[in-house]
A = this chain, B = another copy of it.
Amino acid sequence: MHAEALDALKAHFLAQVSVAPSILESHSRDESYPETHLPDVVVFAESEADVLKVLEVARTFQMPVVPFAVGSSIEGQVLPVQGGISLDLSRMNRVLQIQQHDFCAVVQPGVIYPELSRQSRPHGLFFAVDPGADASLGGMASTNASGTGAVKYGTMRDQVLDMRVALLSGEVIHVGSKARKTSAGYDLKHLFIGAEGTLGVITELTVKLHPLPVAVAVAKVTFDSVQDAVNCAVTVMGAGLNPERIELVDARAVQAVNQYKGTTHPETPTLWIELSGSGEALLRENLDILRECCMESCATRFILAREEPERRELWESRHHAFYALKRLNPGHETHTTDLCVPISQLPDVVSHTQELCLQHGLDAVLLGHVGDGNYHVLFHGDAADEATWTSIHQVSDLMVQKALEVGGTCTGEHGIGLRKRKYLEQEHGDLIPYMRAIKQVFDPHNLLNPGKIF
């Protein structure tokens, strides 16, 4: 790293700059990508002005800048593969406004989503995207994150109304509108959402909040086959029940939970369906319709929970599946996929995945945001076990190939980062030259999170 650049940062930022090994190390990795890459320096921005100053130094000394907040990305998004500055936004963590009557909040990019929901609750509102981990809103926007709430409320893309973005040029632009909809020119907001910090640094977001559901119930429904479970999900969606969540796990996932927790859940494909209603009677009627849909779809068991502790217990095997597999195999590395296909294709695609795992002798659990056609498979293996990892990568490749064949995407919610660049070429090879040209418009010297996406 350019000594003058470091001097400039230190002179300006004083204690907000660090080159301490432990700090560099904690900014060298994310939650799932196997490699690490150290930044040369970490700057803890506390304001938009700080972000602009970092970008000025980057511009002056032609240094890479990698935005960072929580480090919970999955595909290597926050890794400074070319060194340079890790721009830590986690101190920009204030909820600036909650606008109850406009159902929105203005937040800094380092706010983590559970905190936004916590602060929204007294207003009768909540934030609907729940990717897991304690992800930051800025990071979530940058990968178009989603989670279990997407089936009803959509992804980050559907929540962001307006953003301020600091550009490498030193400009701050605002993209989008505080209004609920706009048709004012090219939509640059959606260009920055999902850009993984390669086009600009998000310094403020206005995001939608939603009324808290007043009556909630959860049904846990078991099936003999994934096919039946997915057909049930289609039926539920078609009935206009508009569930809060609808999640699938396969038999192996339940088995892993049982092994790990000593429970005796039926080891069979299981759906969790959460419904809400604006009143109790309404919820009851919805639940009757739900039960009918499930019975029509060959459900083998339908268990209902209305009260909070009971609901939490019911969700247990869903929430614990990943961790069960992880903890059953201590010392193993894990690898998660993130495919999304048209929902009608899901039974075939899931069968295909299960066959591949069987053929390659891989142990894996499957979880799905089934209302969206989005599913994850968690693989695991000893880091030194080359044969297993070769199989895992082969199976992952074949899974993506299958998803693309049926009109799906190589990533439903995790983004491209480093790992999926080859898959993006398969999915959108025709678009990559245009993505590069757009990158050129905002970042001609390729300093913003270089090496990501393409």
Q: Which residues of A contact B (CB under 8 A)?
A: 99-104, 124, 143-146, 150, 154-155, 157-158, 162, 171, 173-175, 177-191, 193-195, 199, 211-214, 234, 237-242, 276-279, 281-282, 285-286, 288-289, 340-344, 371-374, 406-416, 420, 423-424, 427-428, 430-432, 434-435, 437-439, 441-442, 453-454
The residue in chain B whose Cβ has the minimal distance to the Cβ of A275 is: B278
The residue in chain B whose Cβ has the minimal distance to the Cβ of A195 is: B186
Contact A191 B190 (CB under 8 A): yes
Contact A177 B408 (CB under 8 A): yes
Give, as a whole number of angstroms, the nearest-CB distance from A367 to chain B.
16
Q: A174-B430, A240-B211 are in contact. Are A179 and B282 (CB under 8 A)?
A: no
The residue in chain B whose Cβ has the minimal distance to the Cβ of A143 is: B183
Contact of A181 among B214, B240, B372, B423 (CB under 8 A): B372
> Which residues on B sit within 8 Å (CB–CB) of A344?
99, 101-102
Q: In the complex, what distance in Å separates the CA atom of A343 from the CA atom of B102?
A: 6
Q: How many copies does the complex hold?
A: 2
Contact of A186 among B174, B177, B194, B407 (CB under 8 A): B194
Q: In the complex, what distance in Å separates the CA atom of A240 from the CA atom of B171?
A: 39
> Which residues on B sit within 8 Å (CB–CB) of A408?
177-179
> Which residues on B sit within 8 Å (CB–CB) of A285?
277-279, 281-282, 285
Contact B178 A407 (CB under 8 A): yes
> Which residues on B sit within 8 Å (CB–CB) of A157?
181, 187
Known: A102-B342, A281-B285. 19 other contacts (CB 8 A): A99-B342, A144-B183, A173-B430, A174-B430, A179-B372, A180-B342, A180-B343, A182-B409, A183-B412, A184-B420, A185-B424, A185-B454, A186-B194, A186-B431, A188-B434, A212-B240, A279-B289, A281-B281, A282-B282
Contact B430 A441 (CB under 8 A): no
Chain A to chain B: the 10 pairs with minimum beta-carbon distance, closest first: A190-B190, A178-B407, A182-B409, A101-B344, A179-B340, A211-B240, A177-B409, A144-B183, A437-B441, A282-B285
Give, as a whole number of angstroms, the nearest-CB distance from A234 to chain B.
5
Q: In the complex, what distance in Å separates the CA atom of A195 from the CA atom of B186?
A: 6
Give, as a whole number of angstroms, the nearest-CB distance from A414 to chain B.
6
Q: In the complex, what distance in Å separates the CA atom of A179 from the CA atom of B180?
A: 24
> Which residues on B sit within 8 Å (CB–CB) of A145?
183
Contact of A411 among B184, B189, B214, B234 (CB under 8 A): B184
Contact B144 A414 (CB under 8 A): no
Q: In the complex, what distance in Å separates the CA atom of A406 from the CA atom of B412?
A: 35
The residue in chain B whose Cβ has the minimal distance to the Cβ of A178 is: B407
Give, as a whole number of angstroms, the nearest-CB distance from A79 to chain B.
17
Contact A184 B424 (CB under 8 A): yes
Q: In the complex, what distance in Å separates the CA atom of A412 from the CA atom of B282?
A: 34
Contact B190 A431 (CB under 8 A): no
Contact B430 A171 (CB under 8 A): yes
Give, as a whole number of angstroms, the nearest-CB distance from A65 to chain B.
18
Q: Identify which of A238, A286, A372 gathers the most chain B CB atoms within 10 Å of its CB.
A: A238
The residue in chain B whose Cβ has the minimal distance to the Cβ of A280 is: B285
> Which residues on B sit within 8 Å (CB–CB) of A238?
100-101, 103, 124, 211
Q: In the complex, what distance in Å separates the CA atom of A71 from the CA atom of B406?
A: 36
Q: Identify which of A212, A372, A438 gathers the most chain B CB atoms within 10 Å of its CB.
A: A438
Give, as a whole number of angstroms, the nearest-CB distance from A3 to chain B.
34
Give, as a whole number of angstroms, the nearest-CB distance from A336 to chain B.
14
The residue in chain B whose Cβ has the minimal distance to the Cβ of A276 is: B240
Q: In the complex, what distance in Å separates the CA atom of A238 from the CA atom of B212?
A: 9
Give, as a whole number of angstroms, the nearest-CB distance from A154 to chain B.
8
Q: In the complex, what distance in Å separates the CA atom of A407 from the CA atom of B180?
A: 11
Contact A434 B173 (CB under 8 A): yes
Give, as a whole number of angstroms, the nearest-CB distance from A205 to chain B.
14
Q: Identify which of A155, A414, A416, A434 gathers the most chain B CB atoms within 10 Å of its CB.
A: A434
The residue in chain B whose Cβ has the minimal distance to the Cβ of A172 is: B430
> Which residues on B sit within 8 Å (CB–CB) of A372?
179-181
Q: In the complex, what distance in Å separates the CA atom of A237 from the CA atom of B180?
A: 13
Q: In the complex, what distance in Å separates the CA atom of A432 from the CA atom of B174?
A: 12
> Which residues on B sit within 8 Å (CB–CB) of A407?
162, 177-179
Contact B427 A184 (CB under 8 A): yes
Q: In the complex, what distance in Å separates the CA atom of A285 from the CA atom of B283?
A: 10
